[in-house]
Amino acid sequence: MGLEIEDRPSDSPYIDRVWRSTSHGVDTMTSVATAHWDLVFWEHRGRFSAAVQGPEPRACPAPVPEEATFFGISFSLGTSMPHLPAGRLVGGSVEIPDATPGSFWLKGSTWHVPGYDDAEAFVRRMVREGVLVRDPIVAAVFRGAPPDVSERTVQRRFAAATGLTPGAVRQIDRARRAAVLLREGVPVHDVIHRLGYFDQPHLARSLSRYIGRTATRLSARSLSEPLSLLYKM
């Protein structure tokens, strides 16, 4: 019972993660903060839907349809669809109208609905047709590479690609890494030391804002309300 999630990495520079899930006996989950945006497809009671789900700047409760199946592509940092400005997507979503289990309409063209095992081929078409672009500077700066452009340019390009500032992306990433470590059983004081938090209250505030869980609940892997997909960015 709950939210069963399966996910895999990808060798595509445009894809961060491919995932699918099913819901049983749960109506709410905690959607953890993420700097990534997703293309999501789901079926519930015979109705098929699709949407672009934007980055989440903080944790928040989210409804889960009963007995539904989901499939999603989480795109890599710096990847965007220029016809959907990232700033419009932060903390929200854009529904794709008239989606069916076989096809949907996107930027003036009909597209076959991708699957868990062929997401890369679908994304390659998006790139070929100019629906999807990637700013390599955003990914490089996030990894710690020194930028060869001004700080103002970095800020502008992060905003264009993610709708967030570089600082916000790093804070979200650190909180997610802390949550993963705690769920793996790493002691709180080790997490604080590894990730550079000032002290336990600093970690607690970060977890509350971005994960919606305390360190104790993460360590216990509480099932009272499931979390959305959680992995190291």
- What CA–CA distances, in Å, run from 203 to 166, 183, 199, 220? 19, 15, 7, 17
Q: Are 94 and 142 in contact (CB under 8 A)?
A: no
Using CB atoms within 10 A of its CB, is residue 9 exposed (0-12), middle (13-18) or buried (19+)? exposed
Q: What is the pLDDT of residue 224?
A: 62
State the Cα–Cα distance between residues 64 and 86, nearest whole angstrom.
24
Which are the contacts of 99, defined by CB distance < 8 A and separation ≥ 6?
41, 48, 49, 50, 105, 113
Share of the chain above pLDDT 90, in %: 77
Q: What is the pLDDT of residue 2?
A: 74
State the Cα–Cα distance between residues 188 and 211, nearest whole angstrom.
15
Q: What is the pLDDT of residue 89?
A: 95
Which are the contacts of 17, defined by CB distance < 8 A and separation ≥ 6?
7, 8, 9, 10, 36, 73, 74, 229, 231
Amino acid (1-letter code) at residue 74: S
Q: What is the pLDDT confidence band of residue 164, given thresholds at 50, 70 and 90?
A: very high
Amino acid (1-letter code) at residue 52: V
State the Cα–Cα distance between residues 127 and 67, nearest whole angstrom.
33
Q: What is the pLDDT of residue 233?
A: 61
Q: What is the pLDDT of residue 221?
A: 65
Least confident of 87-91, 163-167, 172-176, 217-221: 217-221
How many C-beta atoms surround the C-beta of residue 2 within 10 A? 15
* Residue 232 predicted with pLDDT over 70: no
State the Cα–Cα distance between residues 109 and 68, nearest whole angstrom.
27
- Of 185, 11, 232, 18, the residue nearest 114 (C-alpha): 18
